[in-house]
Amino acid sequence: MTSISALLLSVFITIVLIPIFKRVAIKANSLDMPDPRKMHTTPIPRIGGLAIAIGILIPVIIWVPLNDFVRAYLMGGGILVVFGLMDDLKGLGYKLKFLGQIIAALVIFFYGGIRITSVGSLLPGEMVLANWFAVVLTLVVIIGVTNAVNLSDGLDGLAGGISLLGFFCIGYLAYLLGNNIIFLLSLVISGAIFGFLRFNTYPASIFMGDTGSQLLGFSAMCWRSR
Query: Does 33 score more than 80 pLDDT?
Result: no
Per-residue pLDDT, 122: 64
Number of domains within the chain: 1
Query: Does 22 score more than 80 pLDDT?
Result: yes
CA dihedral 158, 92, 15, 64 (to 10 degrees): 90
Per-residue pLDDT, 99: 94
Per-residue pLDDT, 213: 93
Average pLDDT over the chain, rounded to an integer: 88
Query: Does 38 score more than 80 pLDDT?
Result: no
Query: Does 82 score more than 90 pLDDT?
Result: yes
Tens digit of each residue's pLDDT (9 = 90 or more) over 186-210:
999 999 999 999 999 888 888 998 9
Average pLDDT value for residue range 154-181: 90
pLDDT > 90 fraction of the chain, expressed in percent and rounded? 58
Query: Does 166 score more than 80 pLDDT?
Result: yes
DSSP 73-129: HHHHHHHHHHHHHHHHHT---HHHHHHHHHHHHHHHHHTT-----B-GGGSGGGPBP
Average pLDDT value for residue range 5-9: 94
Per-residue pLDDT, 204: 83
Name the E strands within the chain.
31-32, 44-45
Structural domain of residue 206, as residue ranges? 2-225
Please, what is the Cα angle at 208 between 83 and 18, to 5 degrees? 110
